[in-house]
Structure 1
Amino acid sequence: MRVAIEAIGLAAPGLPDWPSAARVLRGEAAHEAVELPAYAPPLLPPNERRRATPAVRQAFRVAEEAIAGRDARTLATVFAGSDADMAILHRICAAVAEPQKLVSPTDFHNSVHNAAAGYWGIAVGSTAPSTTLAGYDGSFALGLFEAALQVVSDARDVLLVVFDVPAPPPLFDARPLACAASCALWLKPEGGAAPLGHLDLALGDGAETTLDAPALEALRLANPALRALPLLRRVARGEAGAVALPNSGGRALQLHWQP
């Protein structure tokens, strides 16, 4: 499969947006692991903004960057993450373990796996198709493969949003993510203008691509969304070449980037 990349959004400690991250990935700036500030999604109406969880806000941070104020009503979406919203899961499980079993209506409202997709549909007024996936450490590759399939089979633009935030104790002990992070790619069919370049995808075998900079390699492993960093480094540097991503199910997703 071949798709084009229209735009990128990225958010991680020390990489607050795609332009800043691109400078770090090109070696023009040192990486400093500064925590991301709180984010209030401008596209969300006030009532929904108050209800939005940190996980939803993390997704919006990169989705809003990728669309850059453009009309997204007809843009299909694929949302992916390792564990969905573990903070909501923890609070609901804790509540039902109490004698009164009083579950917060807001937590119940946010408990569905596709909560971020729902908020996005409200924010942009979308009735376009939306898919939500979970793929543990292979979530970025799984989401990218699904989004590319939709681009090719439906001949339409698709926004991929991959995001995760750390779980609270005691769930953190079972699934320790080191930081909150997210990545968004606006994918489109090949043949038209490709502001950033083209990406070929195929399933295969082989070891995943790592990063030679220790700080960035640690960041790549810190959150499933950041398995995107080897690909994004090629994009930032304008370097054609191959990247292998860990995929859900054991096989690798083999990519070839062409600026």
Structure 2
Amino acid sequence: MSVKVYIEAIGAIGPGANNWPEWRSILRKEVAYQPARTVNPVLNVLPSAERRRVGIGVKIALASGLEALAAAGIDPSSMTTVFCSSGGDGENCHLICEALASSDRMISPTRFHNSVHNAPSGYWGIASGAMLPSTSLCAYDAGFAVGLLEAAVQCSVEKRPVLLVVYDTPYPEPIHGVRPVADQFAISILLTPDVTQGSITAIDVSLEKTPSTTMESSELENVRVGIPAARGLPLMQVLAQLPEQAAAADIYLEYVNQQSLRVKFVAA
């Protein structure tokens, strides 16, 4: 069984590129990829008190999501959302562990508040005024594919647009030694149930036992395998070539239980 939806807009931020137009130029080989640390985005959509409290995970998640909706000209308050991350805010987790290992074991209320897995969803609601449902998921390295399938099913069944936001941030040492995440990365994709004037392509998604699609560039492959959210790079690669690329081969994104999410591209 497959699920068909339409892709209308993309937002992305990660090592070497700060937004989707920059990633698109790299993936189209119009400019050479230059590895560099992810630049922390400025987030002005939250009240000043909230801006002081949020961590980098919230910043990159909201920045990429808002970029996708701005490209589509859609009011963020009107969106159903799906957020997915393998571990949330890695630095916040590290600081809580440090506090628990100290003599007084006192945890800052702000740290605890930001430790919950749906923190970006909550800050999204504050920033946008969105009142529609929001889902927060975690699936280790398979988060991008799990999030995409969840968002596609919601979009198809509920017959309304859904914004998928997948993000990851690294842990400091010593957690980094056992769960290495190379850098920050976030990708957001706006899905619609029906074709619109802004539709980039239609996709059919289904589960198969097929090896994951890799990146031709060794540097981009290092990004893909080094950051769970960057498992979406093969999808970004195809979307960067559209609409000039008349036909795109199916891609396979790492899922759970030795399965892959097959993404078949259909002309919009």
TM-score (ref. length: structure 2): 0.93
The reply on whether 1:183 has 2:187 as its aligned counterpart is yes
Are the counterparts in 1 of residues 66 and 76 from structure 2 also a CA contact under 8 Å? no
Seen in structure 2, the aligned counterparts of structure 1 residues 66 and 108 have a Cα distance that, compared at 3 Å, is same
In the other structure, the counterpart of 2:163 is: 159
The reply on whether 1:91 has 2:95 as its aligned counterpart is yes
Cα deviations by residue, 1:205-228 (Å, 9 ceiling, x for unpaired) = 111001111111111112111111
Seen in structure 2, the aligned counterparts of structure 1 residues 249 and 85 have a Cα distance that, compared at 3 Å, is farther
Are the counterparts in 1 of residues 81 and 162 from structure 2 also a CA contact under 8 Å? yes
2: distance between equivalents of 1:257 and 1:31? 25
Matched to 1:72, the amino acid is P
Q: Which moved more, 1:245-254 or 1:96-105?
A: 96-105
Matched to 2:54, the amino acid is A
1: distance between equivalents of 2:266 and 2:49? 43
In the other structure, the counterpart of 1:70 is: 74
Q: How many residue pairs end up in the alignment?
A: 259
C-alpha displacement of 1:179: 1.1
C-alpha displacement of 1:194: 4.4
The reply on whether 1:253 has 2:255 as its aligned counterpart is no
Matched to 1:64, the amino acid is L
Cα deviations by residue, 1:179-204 (Å, 9 ceiling, x for unpaired) = 11110001110244343111110011
Q: Look up the SS of the partner of 1:233 in the other structure.
A: helix
Q: Which runs of 5+ in 2 are unaligned?
A: none
Structure 1 residues 95-106: aligned runs within 5 Å? 95-106=99-110
1: distance between equivalents of 2:133 and 2:231? 25
TM-score (ref. length: structure 1): 0.96
C-alpha displacement of 1:232: 1.1
Q: 2:222 aligns with which of 208, 218, 231?
A: 218
Q: State the superposition RMSD in angstroms.
A: 1.3
Cα deviations by residue, 1:5-39 (Å, 9 ceiling, x for unpaired) = 11100111112111111111111110001223222
Q: Look up the SS of the partner of 1:5 in the other structure.
A: strand
1: distance between equivalents of 2:74 and 2:235? 25
Are the counterparts in 2 of residues 62 and 183 from structure 1 also a CA contact under 8 Å? yes
In the other structure, the counterpart of 1:227 is: 231
2: distance between equivalents of 1:217 and 1:206? 18
Report sequence identity in percent.
39
